[in-house]
Amino acid sequence: MNATYKELEAYILNEVDWIELGKSFVEIIFLFLLAATVIKIGKSIIRRVFAVRLKGPLRYSERRHNTLIKLLENILTYAVYFTLIVAVLSKFGFDVGGLIAGAGVIGLAIGFGAQSLVKDVITGFFIVFEDQFAVGDEVQIGTFRGIVEEIGLRTTKVRSYVGEMYIIPNGTISNVVNYSVFNTIVTIDIKVSYESDIDAVENMLKGFLENLNYKYEELVKVPEILGVQEISSDDLVLRIGVETIPMMQDDIARRIRRDLKEFLEQSGVDIPYPIVVRNAKTNE
């Protein structure tokens, strides 16, 4: 008993061991700080390289550049963290070489059971390689619609218009609608009185629409009147086709509708609106 106590006391009071332990902790802290510095500098270099490339004489897709920047930053982070873990384990006396060799065999066995993870990584690679969509694009993936915030090795992050962040495993992405690749066409319907002179109204609208190109840079060309869309017993519906740059169709449609209302009121065009008739006896 006394021998065991003396051995424990000698171990606790051994200054050399405590000094070595302190050195190890200092070195580990230094490694963490070094890893954080390398990641920060590496990300800065990646962004500078792509910034210089965008300013070059050759034209590159800014969408694709943003996606590649995010992807390369993820790869850099994973590589530095893996190196940090290996360095820390070696400080605690682990046989890193044997551990890595064993991890290779174990990883092969786990790979058969982690097919979804492999599928996520491979699908993410092809999403970037084929430029299916990029960071900043407006997309719909399944039931999720929003702006692509990040494309990683495993997951894609999509932010909805109300601020929700959807994290979607790349392997589950099967159908994607990308609204940011081509120009978008939106239709605007206008109701006019059944008694209105259609030719006169269309001529007035043509003059109004021709001036919109100078007001809104998002328009690709002058909006055009498509004609009478619907005829009812109370009114006629005229349809206008508007072509805008990607992702701007909803905003432009709202602004044009506001301008149209003001223009029609100033031009004296009768805009039908519902009239509620109350029964004097029943007050209904």
**Which residues have C-beta within 8 Å of that of residue 39, sequence separation ≥ 6?**
76, 77, 80
Q: Any idea which residue has 């599928």 for tokens?
A: 119
- Give the domain-ending residue among 84, 113, 142: 113
State the pLDDT confidence band at 58, using cuts at 50, 70 and 90: very low
Share of the chain above pLDDT 90, in %: 2
Q: Give the residue among 80, 18, 16, 12 at the shortest CA–CA distance from 46.
A: 80
pLDDT tens-place string over residues 160-196: 888 899 999 988 888 888 888 788 888 888 888 877 7
Assess whether 107 and 154 both reside in one domain. no
Name which residue leads in pLDDT, 146 or 88. Answer: 146
Has residue 272 been placed in a domain? Answer: no
> Domain with 250 in it: what CATH number?
3.30.70.100
Give the separation between CA 153 and CA 39, rounded to whole angstroms.
Answer: 17
Query: Token pair of 93, please?
Result: 């006396």
Has residue 76 been placed in a domain? Answer: yes
Residue 77 has pLDDT above 70, yes or no: yes
Average pLDDT of the segment spanning 116-139: 80
pLDDT tens-place string over residues 147-165: 998 888 788 999 988 889 9
Assess whether 167 and 196 both reside in one domain. no
> Domain with 40 in it: what CATH number?
1.10.287.1260
Residue 231: count of CB within 10 angstroms of its CB: 10
Assess whether 49 and 139 both reside in one domain. no
Assess whether 171 and 188 both reside in one domain. no
Assess whether 159 and 106 both reside in one domain. no
Give the separation between CA 99 and CA 89, rounded to whole angstroms.
Answer: 10
Task: Name the average pLDDT for the chain.
Answer: 77
Assess whether 188 and 225 both reside in one domain. yes
Assess whether 13 and 95 both reside in one domain. yes
Assess whether 146 and 202 both reside in one domain. no
The predicted pLDDT at position 159 comes to: 92
Give the separation between CA 281 and CA 133, rounded to whole angstroms.
Answer: 63
> Domain with 144 in it: what CATH number?
2.30.30.60
Q: What is the 3-state secondary structure (H, E, C) of the chain?
A: CHHHHHHHHHHHCCHHHHHHHHHHHHHHHHHHHHHHHHHHHHHHHHHHHHHHHHCCCCCCCHHHHHHHHHHHHHHHHHHHHHHHHHHHHHHCCCCHHHHHHHHHHHHHHHHHHCHHHHHHHHHHHHHHHCCCCCCCCEEEECCEEEEEEEECCCEEEEECCCCCEEEEEHHHCCCEEECCCCCEEEEEEEEEECCCCHHHHHHHHHHHHHCHHHHCCCECCCCEEEEEEEECCCEEEEEEEEEECCCCHHHHHHHHHHHHHHHHHHHCCCCCCCCCCCCCCCCC
Average pLDDT of the segment spanning 250-267: 86
Residue 144 has pLDDT above 80, yes or no: yes
SS3 149: strand
Residue 14 has pLDDT above 70, yes or no: no
pTM for the model = 0.53
82-86, 87-91, 101-105, 242-246 — which one is most confidently predicted on average? 242-246
Assess whether 195 and 144 both reside in one domain. no
Assess whether 84 and 174 both reside in one domain. no
Has residue 221 been placed in a domain? Answer: yes
The predicted pLDDT at position 248 comes to: 82
Average pLDDT of the segment spanning 87-94: 73
Q: Give the residue among 77, 13, 16, 8 at the shortest CA–CA distance from 42.
A: 77
Has residue 34 been placed in a domain? Answer: yes
The predicted pLDDT at position 252 comes to: 86
Has residue 75 been placed in a domain? Answer: yes
Assess whether 17 and 101 both reside in one domain. yes
Average pLDDT of the segment spanning 61-70: 70
Give the separation between CA 192 and CA 205, rounded to whole angstroms.
Answer: 12
Has residue 280 been placed in a domain? Answer: no
Give the total number of structural domains in the chain: 3
- Give the domain-ending residue among 63, 93, 113: 113
Share of the chain above pLDDT 70, in %: 74
Average pLDDT of the segment spanning 38-48: 86
Has residue 200 been placed in a domain? Answer: yes
Residue numbers of the domain that contains 244: 184-267
Q: Any idea which residue has 């508007």 for tokens?
A: 242
Name which residue leads in pLDDT, 19 or 135. Answer: 135
